[in-house]
Amino acid sequence: MPAETGNVKKALVAFAIERALLEIGKPALEKVTKQLYEEYQCNLRDCYEKPEILSKVLKNLYGKSYTAIVQSIRKELDDFADQKPIKTFLKVISQ
């Protein structure tokens, strides 16, 4: 996959995560980004390549309620869900 394509997908995934968290409220976005950075030195763009980290952070912060956030992310990425890297990302965060 060309670098530009990877960067576009990273941005797309980061945007979808951000929008899903902002649906809950700005504090949710701030909590998730803070924990990603403090515990894993990651940001939202890194979640595309490391979805397991996003999954851990969401489960840690929201328990079983994380599934609602995953559903919201899935909805944001619905138009791209048939693309293998996006499909893999969604599968990992859904587990």
pTM: 0.92
Tens of pLDDT, residues 37-85: 999 999 999 999 999 999 999 999 999 999 999 999 999 999 999 999 9
pLDDT at 93: 97
What CATH architecture is 3-94? Orthogonal Bundle (1.10)
Contact of 9 with 86, CB cutoff 8 Å: yes
CA angle 40, 31, 7 (to 5 degrees): 55
- Tell me the domain boundaries of the chain: 3-94
pLDDT at 5: 73
pLDDT at 1: 53
**DSSP of 24-65:** H-HHHHHHHHHHHHHHHS--GGGGGT-HHHHHHHHHHHHGGG
